[in-house]
């Protein structure tokens, strides 16, 4: 490339280790436990379908944790885990990945790497957990990141629950506005 003074300048093809403010590999990201309110903020910024979350819902039970993927003081991804929402899955040995949100400038493979590392961190924090579950919105996602991280689709695709939020009806779910209208596929991984 020519500089303004006509001299040819050479630029490296790849950023050197620690030589820039944007990570070039998911391996450069450090996953650390973060507070649930901070996790909510990051999810709000990056989640493609469900930016809203309910703090009380995320902190239900005694198995809640959030992880942030950070590089050079900036976050690039967030994962929020809690006790499963569906009672039939809430057996004391299963934990649910409630949200996974990745920013646009995150390096390739951030999501699948984050899934793999978070599973190890969750098992270390909650040794009694044997299985992780997550639900994928099939209208938007194909499950590529789950497959790459060793997760397995389980059961049939389930129709979305009807949105019954009126504020007056006794059958109202307070979290209805936080739910997607997409059909869902459950994915599981042994921890």
Residue 163: CATH number of its domain: 3.40.630.30
44 in a domain, yes or no?
yes
Name the β-bridge partners of 132: 95, 189
Within 13 Å of residue 2, how many CA atoms lie on the same side as its CB?
3
- pLDDT, averaged per 10 consecutive residues of the chain (191 residues), comes to 49 46 89 94 80 68 92 94 88 94 93 94 97 86 88 77 52 48 86 96
179 in a domain, yes or no?
yes
| Sheet architecture: strand order including 74-82 | 30-34, 65-71, 74-82, 94-102, 131-137, 184-190, 152-158
92 in a domain, yes or no?
yes
> Which residue range is the domain that position 122 belongs to?
26-190
The pLDDT, as a whole number, for residue 118 is 97
The pLDDT, as a whole number, for residue 142 is 80
Count of domains for the chain: 1
Selection from 2, 4, 3, 28 nearest residue 14 by Cα: 28
21 in a domain, yes or no?
no
33 in a domain, yes or no?
yes
158 in a domain, yes or no?
yes
15 in a domain, yes or no?
no
State how far the Cα of 10 lies from the Cα of 1, in Å rounded to an integer. Answer: 7
What the block records as the tokens of 3 is: 């500089």
Name the β-bridge partners of 94: 131
Name the β-bridge partners of 100: 79
3 in a domain, yes or no?
no
């Amino acid at each position: 490339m020519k500089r303004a003074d006509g001299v040819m300048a050479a630029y490296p093809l790849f950023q050197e280790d620690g030589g820039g403010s944007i990570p070039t590999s998911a391996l450069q990201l450090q996953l650390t436990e973060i507070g649930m309110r901070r996790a909510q903020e990051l999810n709000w910024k990056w989640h493609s379908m469900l930016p809203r979350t309910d703090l009380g819902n995320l902190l239900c039970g005694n198995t809640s944790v959030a992880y942030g993927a950070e590089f050079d003081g900036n976050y690039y991804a967030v994962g929020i885990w809690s006790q499963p929402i569906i009672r039939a899955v809430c057996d004391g040995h299963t934990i649910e990945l409630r949200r996974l949100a990745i920013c646009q400038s995150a390096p390739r493979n951030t999501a699948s790497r984050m899934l793999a590392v978070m599973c190890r961190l969750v098992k270390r924090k909650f040794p009694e957990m044997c299985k992780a579950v997550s639900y994928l919105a099939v209208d938007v996602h194909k499950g590529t990141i789950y497959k790459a991280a060793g997760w397995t689709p389980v059961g049939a695709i389930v129709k979305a629950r009807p949105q019954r939020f009126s504020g007056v009806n006794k059958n109202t779910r307070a979290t209805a506005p936080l739910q997607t209208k997409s059909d869902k596929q459950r994915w599981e991984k042994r921890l």
